[in-house]
Amino acid sequence: MTRIAFVFPGQGSQVVGMGQALAAASPAAAAVFARADDALGESLSELAWTGPADALDRTENAQPALLATSIAYLEAMRERWGADGPEPAFAAGHSMGQYSALVAAGGLALEDAVRLVRERGRRMQASGSGRDGMMAAIIGLDDARLPELVDEASRAGVFGIANRNAPGQVVVSGERTAIEAALDIAKGLGARRVIVLPVSVAAHSPLMAEAAAGLREVLETVPFADPVPPLLANADARPLRTGDACRDELIEHLTAGVDWLAAVRAMEDAGVSTFVEIGPGRVLTGLVKRIAPDAVALAVDDPTAPDGLAMPTLPTHAIS
């Protein structure tokens, strides 16, 4: 039996035009965008489809637009599969993609999720205001040197590993003083390349503590169901099987790192051999190929297709 995981991208995968051709071709996808628009009381779909890009890229817009687009892809696939579609063994999202994964697993209603990620984006932006936060990617540093990097950089200010995306690829986050120090330290430890990211929010760092506290109050008013399949935690790759555990995950991962490397390896160890990226772009597909080269990694986004959808050929006997 083949085990499949559905994985959902996070902020950064958004692009103007995402999901437009899909919604024109698929009633199920169009219905997702309509529900998202109604939930927010505005035309999120128009922003996703026509931009402008600078407005779409704002955190409070990018996150709900990405979620709606990812779920539109999922529902278009289910529409085509019918009752014979495969059931994934796990759902996992990269950062904000956890909300998409939870909707896919039945843990959150689409309308609640869209409103939550809008609020999440606003609170992240507000929490970062007045804090000189910064994020940067470090490429080619041996993972064994990460504890040394964290220890030394933390002496210069608030610092943490925001994303461990693949072997030798991490994103760091925190106060500017600490990040600038970390880039020099990383070069000295053997990193091939360092890249300052064009963001104003130090996501997945202790600088998001205020946002996490505020979001907790909001999340506690929203009903969560037990996800089927289980959700993989971002920080430690635990399978989360209850709604309460998923709610805690969404709070904690604002200040904790996303260990995508550990998540993919945990799913592979549990027998997953096929990963399907559901949403715009192919970022996670590329990361999975680096982490688990023996696995099959597929993306459903295909800009060359008339409807933008590449229907993956998956075994209908896939087990969960």
How far, in whole angstroms, is CA 1 from its chain's centroid?
28
Confidence (pLDDT) at 53: 95
317 is catalytic: no
Which ranges of 176-235 would DSSP assign to H, the alpha helix?
Answer: 176-188, 209-219
pLDDT by residue (tens digit) across 12-45?
899 999 999 999 999 999 999 999 999 999 999 9
**Residue 318 located in a structural domain:** no
Whether 102 and 213 map to the same domain: the answer is yes
* Structural domain containing residue 154: 133-201
**Residue 307 located in a structural domain:** no
How many structural domains does the chain have?
2
Residue 308 makes CB contacts below 8 A (sequence gap 6+) with 19, 20, 21, 22, 301, 302
Residue 186 makes CB contacts below 8 A (sequence gap 6+) with 138, 141, 149, 194
Instruction: Give yes or no for residue 313 having a pLDDT over 70.
Output: no
Whether 45 and 142 map to the same domain: the answer is no
- Of 156, 172, 201, the domain-final residue: 201
Whether 143 and 212 map to the same domain: the answer is no
Instruction: Give yes or no for residue 48 having a pLDDT over 80.
Output: yes
Q: What three-state secondary structure class fits 303?
A: coil
Confidence (pLDDT) at 320: 44
Whether 73 and 165 map to the same domain: the answer is no
Here the CATH number for the domain that contains residue 228 is: 3.40.366.10
Whether 157 and 256 map to the same domain: the answer is no
Q: Which one from 94, 204, 205, 253 is the annotated catalytic residue?
A: 204
Q: What is the CA radius of gyration of the chain?
A: 19
Categorize the per-residue pLDDT at 318 as very low, low, confident or very high, splitting at 50, 70 and 90: very low
Q: Which one from 95, 100, 127, 173 is the annotated catalytic residue?
A: 95
273 is catalytic: no
Looking at per-residue pLDDT, the higher value among 131 and 211 belongs to 211
Instruction: Give percent of the chain with pLDDT exceeding 90.
Output: 86
Exposure of 42 in the CB half-sphere (CA atoms within 13 A): 10
**Residue 170 located in a structural domain:** yes
Whether 212 and 184 map to the same domain: the answer is no
| pTM score over 0.85 | yes
CB burial readout 243-274, b (16+ within 10 A) else e: bebbbbbbbebbbbbbbbbbbbebbbeeebbb
**Residue 295 located in a structural domain:** yes
Whether 237 and 99 map to the same domain: the answer is yes
